[in-house]
Structure 1
Amino acid sequence: MNRTEKEEVINQLHELMAKAKAAILAEPKGLDVATVTGLRKKFRDAKIDYKIVKNTLAQRAAKGTPVEPLVEKFVGPTALIMSYDDVVSPAKILVDFAKDRENFAIRTAVVEGQVIDVNGVKALAKMPGLQELRGTIAMMIAQPATKLARMIGTPGQQLAQVLNARKDQLGKA
């Protein structure tokens, strides 16, 4: 890789790191191509970037970004996982993936400017994701509206029942 290619990679990484709300570093050792492809697909479906990075380039790209506190952790084989929206989803995917594999290790992460360790990533994975929270909020908002509609409809229903009962009484007499 020549100098201009390196600078281009650094600039692209810098742009991605600058807009990342969460960045997780992992150590992907001994994974076969099919396994990595499956992991990449999970991340792609969740709109999360998964990149195997060259440490020296990543260290330079991280300067002046929220990922900068992790610069000294760019050692050995490094996978960089970045999320730009939901900070919980990448942790959930990684923790689920890593639990079955001894050779895949989560190193550290930075979430909204806070550096967290492996245990912090695991704790983050247990939290509800952005989609789950949105669903819960939508349910909470819809619930009062449903109750209101039911309450508004109840007097009309009761009136119809009273009229039907009166009609039945008159029909029998």
Structure 2
Amino acid sequence: MSKYVKELVTRDIKRRLEGVEDAVVVSCVGMDANTTNELRGELEKKDIHMLVVKNTLARRATEGSQIHGAFEGAAGQVSVCWGASDFVSLVKEIVKLDKDKEKYEKFVAGGGVMDGEKLDAEGLKAVSKWPNREEQISMLVGQILGPGSQLSAALLGPGKMLNSQIKKKGEGDE
């Protein structure tokens, strides 16, 4: 590849990855075209983007960015995945696809970058066990509403008991 073509490809990669702060690097080497298209379609449904790049060009394109560390130690052709509603959702989906060796035998999660920190494959598996954004919001709402519902029950409980006793007393006099 000529120097001019490398520069064009590097600029294109840099443009596509502009603004990406968290990403996962995977290997799809050896996958046939049909399987790769099926994989891309599955990722696209979850708003996950996948870009296949040569590691040296990716390193050059991401120089100075937060995701540069993801390509350290990578060899050959790699795919970088980013997107989804949050990083944990992205990692959960990538790890799930990595475990599905029946369908995507050649798909291997290699590592990634979260908040500028490099993650290895084991780090990705650990992150995949975290609650995603929606789960965190529901836990937070539960924690916020919990004391209020307990207070409401404490206030309404005796009132209902008193009401039922008055009602029974009223029905007994008739």
TM-score (norm 2): 0.79
Q: Partners of 1:161 and 1:167 in 2: how far apart?
A: 10
Moved over 6 A (4+): none
Tell whether the 8 Å contact from 1:10 to 1:60 is kept in structure 2 after alignment: no
Q: Partners of 2:141 and 2:43 in 1: how far apart?
A: 25
Q: CA deviation at 1:140?
A: 1.8
Q: CA deviation at 1:124?
A: 1.4
Q: CA deviation at 1:167?
A: 0.9
CA distances 1:47-84 after superposition (whole Å, capped 9, x unpaired): 33222224343222201101122344443221101247
The equivalent residue for 2:164 is 161
Q: CA deviation at 1:93?
A: 1.1
In structure 1, list runs of 5 or more residues that go unmatched: none
Q: Partners of 1:33 and 1:71 in 2: how far apart?
A: 24
2:126 is aligned, of 123, 126, 130, to 123
Q: Partners of 2:143 and 2:136 in 1: how far apart?
A: 11
Tell whether the 8 Å contact from 1:25 to 1:107 is kept in structure 2 after alignment: yes
**Residue type of the alignment partner of 2:118:** V
Q: CA RMSD in A?
A: 2.7
Q: Partners of 1:156 and 1:125 in 2: how far apart?
A: 47
CA distances 1:16-62 after superposition (whole Å, capped 9, x unpaired): 4xx32x21111102334454344334433443322222434322220
Give aligned pairs, total: 168
Specify the SS of the correspondent of 2:18: helix
Specify the SS of the correspondent of 1:44: helix
Q: Partners of 1:34 and 1:136 in 2: how far apart?
A: 40
Tell whether the 8 Å contact from 1:109 to 1:117 is kept in structure 2 after alignment: yes
Q: Partners of 2:33 and 2:138 in 1: how far apart?
A: 35
**Residue type of the alignment partner of 1:75:** A
Which 10-residue stretch deviates more, 43-52 or 94-103? Answer: 43-52
Q: Does 1:132 align with 2:135?
A: yes
Q: Partners of 2:39 and 2:137 in 1: how far apart?
A: 25
- Compared CA separation, residues 153 and 87, structure 1 to 2 (3 A): same
Q: Does 1:110 align with 2:113?
A: yes
1:1-173 matched pairs, under 5 angstroms: 3=5, 5-6=8-9, 8-16=11-19, 19-20=20-21, 22-83=22-83, 86-101=86-101, 102-171=105-174
Which 10-residue stretch deviates more, 3-12 or 65-74? Answer: 3-12
Q: Partners of 1:52 and 1:139 in 2: how far apart?
A: 41
Specify the SS of the correspondent of 2:131: coil
Q: Partners of 1:47 and 1:31 in 2: how far apart?
A: 21
